[in-house]
Amino acid sequence: MRNLLSRKLSASGYTIGAKLRLRGVEAICLENRTGNAMLLISGSRFGPSWAQIHKAVEYLTPKPVLLSLGSTPAVLVEDSASARLLIGSIHERAKVDRKREVHLEGVGFVLLDTEVKLELKKFILPAISVALVIALGVFWSAGEPTDQTEVALPALNDCIAELSSAEFEKWLSQTLSSAEVLSGGLQLQKQTELGQLDIVVESTIGSAAKVTGTVTCADGRQLLVNHRIDASGEGAVLELGS
């Protein structure tokens, strides 16, 4: 930490502690005048910007605060296990968001016009593949004897990473519907056939709960969880932006 920033923090009433080793961001442990543990988060040269960091943690309770002590603002949040888990995932999520959004001063994050074009390109090759599979299936079935009725079934997905977004959200809703009552601060670990679910309930409003964490497959593949769900089981599951 630069001496000037250290002096400004001390003058603002913060006691400076250890520096966390996190990819793409710099996080410094602080303690305020009342003795509460805090984290001061700022972007590295090749990491996410302060705006992306603030957007990623804006749902934490209490709300994050911007401190303008250096050339660019830094984000101050209360230190907790859920906060550290969320901060550790900011770097990877920011790389994806840069392709979809841009931050405008005084406006906020705006979707890029190229997003729709990119989404269309994603469906072209899968559509061609499906058409070829159907055509080959019709050709082969026409040439097979009529008494052959056995059909080979495709193997079931054994990793959550192979599901579509809609399938993942349905799986998450069904997995949590059998869990205990969701309340703020609750940490859940659940082993399923599709992966190990490790989440934290960030906050609840009525039957809606915001959950963050990860799902890890047996082969090590991992998906981030940052969703708002309806704990009653009657509402939709919504993926939150970074």
pLDDT for 36: 93
Query: When comparing pLDDT for 148 and 136, which is higher?
Result: 136
123 is a domain residue: no
Judgement on whether residues 12 and 107 belong to the same structural domain of the protein: yes
22 is a domain residue: yes
190 is a domain residue: yes
Judgement on whether residues 88 and 166 belong to the same structural domain of the protein: no
**Average pLDDT estimate for 5-25:** 86
**Is the per-residue pLDDT at 149 higher than 60?**
no
Q: Which domain holds residue 217?
A: 160-239
34 is a domain residue: yes
pLDDT for 142: 66
Whole-angstrom distance, CA of residue 163 vs CA of residue 153: 18
DSSP output for 152-204: PPPPPP-SGGGS-HHHHHHHHHHHHHTSSPP-TT-EEEEEETTEEEEEEEEEE
Judgement on whether residues 166 and 68 belong to the same structural domain of the protein: no
The rounded Cα 94 to chain-centroid distance in angstroms is 10
**Average pLDDT estimate for 62-72:** 85
pLDDT for 113: 57
CA atoms within 13 A of residue 209's CA, in its CB half-sphere: 26
126 is a domain residue: no
pLDDT for 1: 58
140 is a domain residue: no
pLDDT tens column, 152-195: 433 445 787 788 888 888 888 888 776 667 777 888 888 888 88
- List of E strands, 101-155: 101-104, 108-111
Judgement on whether residues 89 and 22 belong to the same structural domain of the protein: yes
Whole-angstrom distance, CA of residue 58 vs CA of residue 53: 9
191 is a domain residue: yes
Judgement on whether residues 90 and 183 belong to the same structural domain of the protein: no
Highest mean pLDDT among 52-56, 122-126, 135-139: 52-56
**Is the per-residue pLDDT at 116 higher than 60?**
no
Q: Nearest-CA neighbor of 65 among 77, 48, 49, 81?
A: 77
139 is a domain residue: no
| 8-state DSSP, 64 | P
Q: Collapse the DSSP code of 238 into the 3-class scheme (helix H, G, I; strand E, B; otherwise coil) and give the result.
A: strand
Q: Collapse the DSSP code of 83 into the 3-class scheme (helix H, G, I; strand E, B; otherwise coil) and give the result.
A: helix
pLDDT confidence tier of residue 77, bands split at 50, 70 and 90: very high
pLDDT confidence tier of residue 78, bands split at 50, 70 and 90: very high
Which of 80, 111, 142 represents a domain boundary (last residue)?
111
Judgement on whether residues 99 and 174 belong to the same structural domain of the protein: no
The total number of structural domains in the chain stands at: 2
Judgement on whether residues 93 and 166 belong to the same structural domain of the protein: no
pTM of the full structure: 0.41
pLDDT confidence tier of residue 148, bands split at 50, 70 and 90: very low
Share of the chain above pLDDT 70, in %: 75
Whole-angstrom distance, CA of residue 52 vs CA of residue 98: 9
Tokens standing for residue 96 = 């994806």
pLDDT for 154: 39
Judgement on whether residues 104 and 192 belong to the same structural domain of the protein: no
Which of 53, 86, 111 represents a domain boundary (last residue)?
111
pLDDT for 157: 54
pLDDT for 37: 94
Judgement on whether residues 24 and 107 belong to the same structural domain of the protein: yes
pLDDT tens column, 218-231: 888 888 888 888 77
